[in-house]
Chain A
Amino acid sequence: MQLKGETSMRKEFRVPDPSVSAPSIAQTDTCPTTEGRVDAVPSASTPASMRGQAGPANPTFVGGTDAKKTPAPMPALAAFSLDARVWFVLTCTFSVCALTVSSPLTLALLWLVALVLYVRLGGSLALLGRSLALLGVLYALIVISAALVFDGTGDVAIVGAAGISWTGLARGAFTCARLMSIVVLSLVLTCACTTAQMSEALTGLLKPLGKVGFPAGDIAVMLGLALRCIPLACEKLATIRMAQNARGAAIGLSRNPVRKVLSYVPLMVPLCVAMFRYADDFAFSLSVKGFTGVNRVELHAHAMSALDWLVAGVGVMAAVGLAVFC
């Protein structure tokens, strides 16, 4: 029962082990009577900004939570310790700026700043490459649709009236560059903030809308759960893929596009079933924890520092300035 394309299949595999999320208990799960205590456990009254430093895993900690684990601590990160709300606002405004600037030079400058930030925040270039490549088909469609002309005005004739317009090609490439810059900016955000911080930041930003009846509490919990579900779904997907491969399934290996799509059915059906089960479990969990979406107490309410305000203000003004004048 030898499968074709075995080598290429193997390259796709990541560690599927459900125990991946459970490091050795012998090392980490010590009995309460024998375990060593962390001496500098922060007290409940410790300011949020201090807790990040005391927390064992997160040198970039800013808000009231600590969720990010980076492979190696980077001293340079201290310079980027801004409130997650600032990162969020800056990412949004500069993304809008990237869509509105008309000068290629300005867009190149945006790219450069975002790339430097990304690298300084410890982002992986391989991940950047993969993220940019994800939208490869979209880029190709944009460039082709912008470059192709069918009225005989093309700079290079192909067949009959169809041709390629250099202006259109440049316009298509510029649009792609805009989209790519948004991808880079989003990656900067994921590097700078933990998922929990992003969720909190969005909640904080939406909170004022609660006064006009917007369900900010519901949205916050939904977002938090969605963020939690992404890694769960990916781990589940990897396990199901392994299980189906062990049954001889050749998923995504066929060159025939129809067969290729159909080969994903053994992967997608169990994943959907598992996600519905997760949704049920989460709903039950929320209900037994008394969640109603209203009148929730905010545990990590904290004000932004003067530096946060300054950076946010300067950043937003710079983005608006670039969008309007460049």
Chain B
Amino acid sequence: MALRVASLTTRPITSCLGFAFQLTNVNFEVPQAGKIALVGPNGSGKSTLLRALLGTIDLLEGSVAFDDDPLNAEVKSSAIRFDFAYVGQDPDTSFVTSTVEDEIAFALCNTAMRPDDIRARVTQALVACGIEHLRYRSLSTLSGGQKQRVCIAAALALKPRALLFDEPFSMLDANARACVRQALASFDSQTSLIQISHRFDEISDFDSVIALESGHIVWQGSPGEFLAQPGLSERTGLRTTPYVTCEALLYEARFTRAGWTSMGGANSTRGEAAADSLLRAQQCSYVPQVKESGSIMSGASSDAASSFALRDIDLEIKPAQLTLLVGDSGSGKTTLACILAGLLAPCSGHATLDGHCVTPGSVGLAFQRVEDQLFRARVIDDVAFGPQNCGLRRRDALRVAAHALADVGLDVESFGALNPQCLSGGQKRRVALAGVFAMESRFVILDEPTVGLDAAGIHSLLAMLACLLKQGRGVLVVTHEPEVFFGLAEKAYVLENGRIQAMYAAERGNVDA
């Protein structure tokens, strides 16, 4: 049963800045068990297309049909249940229950199936994804990779005709991504797959690639042809960095392949003479609090407290140098970043800036989804918030904010007076980063800045970092994708289970390149 989408046109969606967007005349066909990739820059209409197929967006015209079985308005609600199943980017906001079994069974419970049949379907889906041992676990205790596998199991349990994946790997590290891919590969099915992706390695074995731009299909062909087409990768924002396979998951292999040299393991920085201008952690250990039993919050977080405790961390960041802190989810990277920014007090040891204890506000820190910190009604006021907290007068703070906006590639004339909540996702992230850079602190820490960025976003991020380095500011990037920063970084620490396991330095030639 092939899926045919003909002349699909959605109603225009108008943003708060007055820009109208609509999918226009989209035509494509997906054969049974076929795999189609949707690519395109942020805002090109990929997610809108999936939502149109799901029936959650009104169509002006066009048809969606499996062979000659049109999904008209009357069957739309049942089509949601039986024909398509959807997996999004963030499992946390797609879960509507508390346990794995309930989550997988939720959609099935909305059909007229008998409970025994539902349980059988749940079992099949769990086995297909290799997570039958998680059946009775609370969702809040699962890792990112496990959560996404639960989402996929919930989709497979519906036995849909087509699976719709909206960047299901974007929030996972390489290890979890490999596990989820393996689960998908082992699932033998006649189901078609339509997947949005920003990475070529995820879709290299797909049957066809559809490139979207401003709501139109601008190119359609095989992955091989896609790569051969000059300039298409750049135009669609597809990242063509090589896929990290299971065998090459070790950071050692990834760094040595890129020509980096090992500088020894933990504590290799200990005993060095302290430089004048340096952000460093000395013998830092940290044990997180465990939530009390009886608190409604006790189910919120994992009980594996020891997995993100830090032990005897020695680390230093120099001015005008990009340092990487790499490690898988749960290794303690963000906790260490908070200690270095003075936001968490280590249980032992200390974090120092120029030999003095770090205080909140003295080191810039941008968390993942940094755009969540925006709160003022005007872009310029939000960026000036930090400088004003540091004691600058409003006029001076606004001047500093204007410079910071320029550093992130936004023009204060065009953007300064806009409401940050009306901007696009990429623009919001830039404004929020400008708010951090405007602190004019000599050291800046960025936590997983590449999450959810397409190639254009990565490019502008690297440009911002280059600008910071040029100003003589030291930058620490916390990431699980060190390859993105190989061109700028000079030093990397590998954090594993709360310890610095290794340290690498880039060859000078590599840095210059």
Asked if A231 meets B307 with Cβ closer than 8 Å, knowing A246-B360, A281-B93, the reply is: no
Binary contact readout A1-39 vs B (1 if CB under 8 angstroms, 0 otherwise): 111001001100111111111111111111111010110
A301 at the interface (CB under 8 A from B): yes
B463 contacts the other chain (Cβ, under 8 Å)? Answer: no
The size of the chain B interface, using a CB distance under 8 A, is 125
CB of B288 closer than 8 Å to a CB of A: yes
Mark out the residues of chain B between 382 and 406 whose CB falls within 8 Å of any chain A CB in the assembled complex: 385-386, 389-391
Restricting to B41-96, which residues have a CB under 8 Å from any CB of A?
51, 54, 56, 77-78, 80-81, 84-86, 88, 90, 92-96
State whether B294 touches A187 (Cβ < 8 A).
yes
- Complexed CA–CA distance, A236 and B373 (Å): 10
B325 vs chain A, min Cβ distance (A)? 13
B358 to chain A, nearest CB (A): 10
Highest count of chain B CB atoms <10 Å: which of A68, A196, A242:
A242
A31 and B101 contacting across the interface, CB-CB below 8 Å: no
The answer to whether B290 and A71 touch across the interface, beta carbons within 8 angstroms, is: yes
In B217-260, which residues have CB < 8 Å from any A CB?
Answer: 246
Does B297 count as interface, using CB distance less than 8 angstroms?
A: yes
A-side contacts of B123, CB under 8 Å = 44
Is B361 in contact with A234, judged by CB distance below 8 angstroms?
no
CA distance A14 to B106 in the complex (A): 33
Query: Within the assembled complex, what's the spacing in Å between the Cα atoms of A42 and B107?
Result: 22
Cβ contacts under 8 Å, B112 to chain A: 295, 297
Residues of chain B lying within 8 A (CB to CB) of residue A104:
none
- Given A25-B145, A299-B102, are A290 and B81 neighbors across the interface (CB < 8 Å)? yes
For residue B48, give the distance in angstroms from its CB to the closest CB of chain A: 12
Interface residues of B in 273-326 (CB under 8 A from A): 288-290, 292-304, 307-308
B333 contacts A by Cβ under 8 Å = yes
> Are A236 and B335 in contact, CB atoms less than 8 angstroms apart?
no
Whole-angstrom CA separation of A28 from B289 in the bound complex: 21
Q: Is the CB of B302 within 8 A of A22?
A: yes
B441 interface residue (CB < 8 Å to A): yes
Chain A residues contacting B85 (CB-CB under 8 Å) are: 288
A65 with B385, Cβ < 8 A, contacts A1-B390, A187-B294, A247-B439 known: no
Is B359 in contact with chain A by the CB < 8 A criterion?
yes
CB of B460 within 8 Å of the partner chain = no
How far, in angstroms, from A274 to B44 measured CA to CA in the complex? Answer: 24
> Which residue in B80, B106, B338 is a CB contact (below 8 Å) of A287?
B80
The smallest C-beta distance from A38 to any residue of chain B, in angstroms, reads 4
**Residue contacts A-B, CB under 8 angstroms, 6 given:** A27-B307, A44-B122, A123-B293, A243-B373, A265-B375, A297-B113
Chain B residues packing against A (C-beta within 8 Å): 51, 54, 56, 77-78, 80-81, 84-86, 88, 90, 92-99, 101-102, 105-116, 118-120, 122-123, 129-133, 135-138, 140-147, 154, 173, 175-176, 178-179, 182-183, 186, 246, 288-290, 292-304, 307-308, 328-335, 338, 341-345, 359-368, 370, 372-375, 385-386, 389-391, 421, 435-436, 439, 441, 496-497
